[in-house]
Amino acid sequence: MNKTPTIENGLGTLIITGSSGLIGSAFLDRVGESYTGMGFDCKGPPHPPPKTEHIIACDLSSDESVYATLDEVRRLGHRRIASLLHLAAYYSFESESSPLYEQVTVRGTERLLRGLRDFEVEQFIFASTMLAHAPCEPGERINEDCPLEPKWDYPKSKVAAKQLILRERGDVPMVLMRIGGVYDDRCHSIPSRSRSSAFTENGSSAVFSPATSRMEWPSCIWRIWSKRWCSRSNTARIYPK
């Protein structure tokens, strides 16, 4: 386990929700011993905890859990947060709708923002999805001016959470990341694998989807954090290449 700097070192404090996921764990590895990285995540599977000393159990669907988590951050002496990377969300490939999209992704974000009002937060980075946009024509690129047209519950919940952040963030600067498919060091991508299985069952032989390495996003996030790419009155948007 990497040794995490203490607050006495005067180093910046970074909070990552969903810290054991593909992007969160890679980002904490990127942080190393340079900053105080604090991970918020649920207990247990599916992912092992990232290599940092400060992993705090947090259930975004519970008021009590979110506030207890932030109380622990406060107890450890971290009242000024250089950046909060909000990756945690509910995601399922089941066709049925789930109340967890509202409870975790939308209301969980609201709980987090309200709990952070007692902290000084320099930047709030929200991980959204390119699925929030309407499809474009071949050869075109999606950017922040493209229309939003989420088709199912996951991107719809991300759009709702973004709108909530804009209402509740106060003067905290926000960065919105529209992420595409992410794969790990062995090229495993959960969305691609799930779609491939569905296509195989239906008799198709291949499926292609855009994706980004889990190691590319931490570098992008690092640049966002280090340069503070937004003012307190504006929202920055970052899209994959």
CATH number of the domain at 23, please.
Answer: 3.40.50.720
**Which of 103, 105, 195, 101 shows the shortest CA–CA distance to 153?**
101
pLDDT, one tens digit for every residue, the chain (241 residues): 444 444 445 568 999 999 888 888 888 877 766 778 899 998 766 565 555 568 899 999 999 999 999 999 999 999 999 999 999 999 887 767 899 999 999 999 999 999 999 999 999 999 999 889 998 888 888 888 889 999 999 999 999 999 999 999 988 999 998 887 766 666 565 555 444 444 334 444 343 344 454 445 555 555 555 555 454 445 555 555 5
The answer to whether position 193 is within a domain reads no
Q: Are 1 and 51 in contact (CB under 8 A)?
A: yes
Q: Which amino acid is at 111?
A: R
Domain count for the chain: 1
The answer to whether position 191 is within a domain reads no
Q: Enter the tokens of residue 48.
A: 């092992």
Q: Which amino acid is at 57?
A: A
Taking the mean position of all CA atoms in its chain, how far away is CA 184?
Answer: 16
The answer to whether position 86 is within a domain reads yes
Q: Enter the tokens of residue 11.
A: 């180093």
In eight-state DSSP terms, residue 178 is: E
The answer to whether position 224 is within a domain reads yes
End-to-end CA distance of the chain: 33
The answer to whether position 40 is within a domain reads yes
Query: What pLDDT score does 227 carry?
Result: 56
In eight-state DSSP terms, residue 74 is: H
CB atoms within 10 A of CB 43: 9
Query: What pLDDT score does 23 carry?
Result: 84
Query: What pLDDT score does 190 carry?
Result: 57
Query: What pLDDT score does 211 carry?
Result: 46
The answer to whether position 58 is within a domain reads yes
Q: Enter the tokens of residue 146.
A: 């493209």
The answer to whether position 189 is within a domain reads no
The answer to whether position 203 is within a domain reads no
Query: What pLDDT score does 117 carry?
Result: 93
The domain in which residue 90 lies consists of: 7-184+212-238
Q: Are 133 and 178 in contact (CB under 8 A)?
A: yes
